[in-house]
Structure 1
Amino acid sequence: MTAVSLEHSTVPADTGEVTLLIARRVDPGYEADFELWAKGILESAASFAGHLGYGLFRSSGGDAPLAIYPISVLGGLFLMPHLTALPLLLNSLITAAVFNVLMTYAAMPAVSRLLRGWLTT
């Protein structure tokens, strides 16, 4: 079976066009089946009007969160001391909001640009 190529020369997140991102973990030995399935789904989705494109990023196989760790450390260092006096639910809400914004608009675009060559090979 030949390898399925689903890569693009640009990462959609770089231009702000991503509206959905789905992560899947493929069991060992099923990679080729997954690639074939993904190719069919992605090509089918591309046939709809307004579709902005797609990309398939492959994991290194590890589960280490690349961008989450530094944000967590810095958040704990700078943000948490100011939130300790707040009620737990409000503290959690603010923490989740800040971390989500940082991950979505700062960390992931930067990591995508940094690892573009690796992510699209």
Structure 2
Amino acid sequence: MSRPNAAQNPEQVTVPADNGEVTLLIARQVEPGYEKAFENWAYGILNTAATFPDHLGYGLFRPSSEGAPWFLVHRFRNAAACQRWQESAERASWFDRCEGHQHTEIARRELTGMETWFAKPGTTRPAPPRWKMCISSGIAIFPISLFGNAVIAPHLTGLPLVLRTAPITVLFSVLMTYVAIPAVTKLLRGWLYGKS
């Protein structure tokens, strides 16, 4: 089985990130009866990648239904860390040992910056254009900013700048990730992604 690379995978998308972090999402199709062998192989390669500098975490997601693909996810601090892993001898060694597991890579994407907020779990659908993500995130930020400034900030005026900023930062991060962005993307789904 040949090792996948960007040239073999036109689905791979790389966009400059605001903070530089890269999330690598890989979909693999596993033939029935080979699930356990693939799972062992997948955890082996994921655990090996986790030993590399600037690897921020990983995940393995089982199929949502029979015949659906498995998803492997890596997070890296920056594109250079992602490239070091993809070009490493350790990664190549795992692919040399995957013969007989009967699994095939069917899609690969690199998500950076805001793309990770707008990627739909369980799919390899491309993120919306950046200008649409910018408008959508602005819509999501506005009520959080209004709430933070009107309700929380007045109670923090006596604190030093760093201590005043910390709770607002946590509020933004949590609400944007788990509440505002999911709500906005659901509300604007047709406009963000089109009819497909």
TM-score (norm 2): 0.37
Q: Percent identity of the aligned residues?
A: 39
2:171 aligns with 98
SS at match of 1:47: strand
Of 146, 157, 160, 1:87 maps to 160
- Comparing both structures, which one devotes a greater share of its residues to strand? 2
1:45 is the counterpart of 2:45: no
Higher relative contact order (CA 8 A, sep 6+): 1
What's the offset of the Cα at 1:106?
1.2
Gaps of 5+ in 2: 1-8, 14-24, 30-41, 43-59, 61-70, 72-121
What's the offset of the Cα at 1:40?
2.3
- Between the aligned partners of 2:187 and 2:179, the Cα distance in structure 1 is 12
Give, as a single letter, the amino acid of the residue that structure 2 aligns with 1:117: G
Q: Which structure: larger Rg? A: 2
Describe the superposition over 1:13-62 as per-residue Cα deviations: whole angstroms up to 9, x where unpaired.
xxxxxxxxxxxxxxxxxxxxxxxxx95216x8223863143232323736
Aligned pairs (5 A) from 1:1-121: 39-41=10-12, 45-47=26-28, 50=60, 51=71, 52-59=122-129, 61=131, 63-64=134-135, 65-121=138-194
Gaps of 5+ in 1: 1-37
- Between the aligned partners of 2:123 and 2:28, the Cα distance in structure 1 is 10
TM-score (norm 1): 0.56
- Between the aligned partners of 2:130 and 2:177, the Cα distance in structure 1 is 21
